[in-house]
Amino acid sequence: MSFIKTSNVKISGISSCVPKNIVHVSEYHWVKKKLREKIIETTGIIEKRHVDKGTTTSDLCLIAAEKLISELNWDKNEISILIFVSVTPDYISPSTSNILQYKLGLNKDTICIDINQACSGYVYGLSVITKFLSVENKKGLLLVGDTNSYRISYRDKLTYPIFGDAGTATAVEYCENDNANFYFNLKSDGSGYSDIIIKDGGVRNFFSKDSLKYVKYEEGVIRSNIHTSMNGLNVFKFALREVPTSISDILEYAKLSINDIDYFVLHQANSLINKSICRFLNINQDKVPNSLDKFGNTVSASIPLTIVSELRNQVVTDNQKLLIAGFGAGLSWGCALLDTSKIKCPELIEL
Amino acid sequence: MDVYLFIEKFENEFNDLPKGLLKPDTKIMDMKEWWDSLNVMIAIAFAKIEFGANIEKNDIFEANTINDLFNNILKKANTK
């Protein structure tokens, strides 16, 4: 079963935090100017943000969460669940959600869960937290982000110009009388697990001296086994093959059409993928917010970051029906249909 | 769609491909330098958007000419 429907729950707010440090793709001197220009043209990524050394994903999420809790005037004792979604946790163990529970001052009754999902992570995390809160008269925090700048090699033209850092917080709460439903369509294909992978550091391949060795794979692609390795062509084909079908299927499941959706918030992988999906499905580009130019691919954070940076006015002042779609490492992909009702959405925070 | 309309639409997808350069009998490998990874992706996206075809890199490079590429895409049209 890949479809999930959830009721009696709502999103109360979304906030995002990005590092102040801006990295311009036009200054990526590892590749020639002509290729830099073509990367910018094809991916749509002009600049992105990188954290300073020592700042982690959880630091960005913590700031986003504190701001959101404050704007919502939430009593921290009412928060019963904290989910942290990331592929760049603070440690292999313990769970970063436990650390965040402590740093946020949440009480010991809080359920803490880490989810290791990348670009589909926001959709997956939202499915878990909404399902939990739909039967529990409580509040929850979904903290989603990544600092992939730690995991990319400057000498890898396939990954370095693409990835940026961000942390986000989404406040979700039980809402008995709310008529809105959440619909999810979640999918997996582990046969493509090696298409986006960090090979060393787990127990399959322990970290060793060799993990740090730089290897040349092709012209302009030099990295070690602690860096993200991405088969861009396979990921691109996967996205074009699966995401349009997934979007069509969830609309059919919810008995809606493309015209019923106010905005399609797609994972910000690159603009060629997103424009192709929209052209294939005949979705008006005006309904598809884009934050790639400013932040690049921020992995799990890209959907909530795009809502905050591109749709803030719309979600604060009006009700919106959103279709969100995440896709990436795993391979894993998922869409969700959700209604927002004048949510709290603080201005983008810069750290 | 015939091959001439295919060529017109195909050329429109690329900023670095002069309009009118391609003919049905243009050899794919004569453009070897031009076929970088980004242009391969744009071609794959074009096949999806225009024909609903999920093509592979091999569908491009196993084609001898542009006309062969057109036929390879047609064979996979509207595949899921």
Residues A330, A175: Cα–Cα separation, whole Å: 33
Asked if A267 is an active-site residue, the reply is yes
Express each pLDDT in A303-328 by its tens digit. 999 999 999 999 999 999 999 999 99
How confident is the model at residue A24, as a pLDDT? 97
Chain A interface disruption, residue of B48, B54, B73, most A CBs within 10 A: B48
For the cut 70, the answer to whether the pLDDT of residue A175 exceeds it is yes
How confident is the model at residue A178, as a pLDDT? 64
Whether residue B54 and residue A232 make contact (CB cut-off 8 A), yes or no, is no
Q: Name the band, by pLDDT with cuts 50, 70 and 90, for residue B33.
A: confident
Residues B76, A53: Cα–Cα separation, whole Å: 48
Cβ-nearest to A279 among B36, B40, B49: B49
Express each pLDDT in A226-270 by its tens digit. 999 999 999 999 999 999 999 999 999 999 999 999 999 999 999
- Give the predicted TM-score (pTM) of the model: 0.94
- B48: in domain: yes
b/e A322-341 (16+ beta carbons within 10 angstroms → b):
bbbbbbbbbbbbbbbbbbbe
Question: How many structural domains does chain B have?
Answer: 1
Q: Which of A185, A225, A227, A267 is catalytic?
A: A267
Q: Does A242 touch chain B (CB under 8 A)?
A: no
Q: Which residues of A touch B73 (CB under 8 A)?
A: none
- B63: in domain: yes
* Residue type at position A284: N
Q: Which domain holds residue B66?
A: 3-75
Residues A291, A341: Cα–Cα separation, whole Å: 22
% residues pLDDT > 70 (chain A): 99
- B59: in domain: yes
Express each pLDDT in B37-79 by its tens digit. 889 999 999 999 999 999 999 999 999 999 999 999 999 987 5
How confident is the model at residue B78, as a pLDDT? 77
- A157: Cβ–Cβ under 8 A, 6 or more apart, which residues? A30, A31, A35, A39, A220, A221
For the cut 50, the answer to whether the pLDDT of residue B80 exceeds it is no
Whether residue A39 and residue B37 make contact (CB cut-off 8 A), yes or no, is no
Q: In this structure, what CATH number is given to the domain that contains residue B52? A: 1.10.1200
**Mean of the pLDDT values across residues A78-82?**
97
Express each pLDDT in A26-36 by its tens digit. 999 999 999 99
Q: Does A248 touch chain B (CB under 8 A)?
A: no
- B80: in domain: no
Asked if A278 is an active-site residue, the reply is no
For the cut 80, the answer to whether the pLDDT of residue A177 exceeds it is no
- B56: in domain: yes
Whether residue B45 and residue A232 make contact (CB cut-off 8 A), yes or no, is no
Residues A162, A152: Cα–Cα separation, whole Å: 9
Q: Does B45 touch chain A (CB under 8 A)?
A: yes
Whether residue A240 and residue B37 make contact (CB cut-off 8 A), yes or no, is no
Task: Measure CA B41 to chain center.
Answer: 10
Residues A308, A305: Cα–Cα separation, whole Å: 5
- Helix then strand count (H, E) for chain A reads 9, 17
Cα of B27 to nearest chain A Cα, Å:
23
- B42: in domain: yes
Q: Does A243 touch chain B (CB under 8 A)?
A: no
**Closest Cα in chain B to A235:** B41
Q: Which of A294, A318, A307 is nearest to A347 (CA)?
A: A307
Mind listing the domains of chain A with CATH numbers?
1-351 (3.40.47.10)
Whether residue A236 and residue B48 make contact (CB cut-off 8 A), yes or no, is no
Cβ-nearest to B41 among A41, A233, A245: A233
Q: Does A236 touch chain B (CB under 8 A)?
A: yes
Q: Does B80 touch chain A (CB under 8 A)?
A: yes
Whether residue A38 and residue B16 make contact (CB cut-off 8 A), yes or no, is yes
Chain B interface disruption, residue of A25, A35, A37, A38, most B CBs within 10 A: A38
Q: Name the band, by pLDDT with cuts 50, 70 and 90, for residue A135.
A: confident
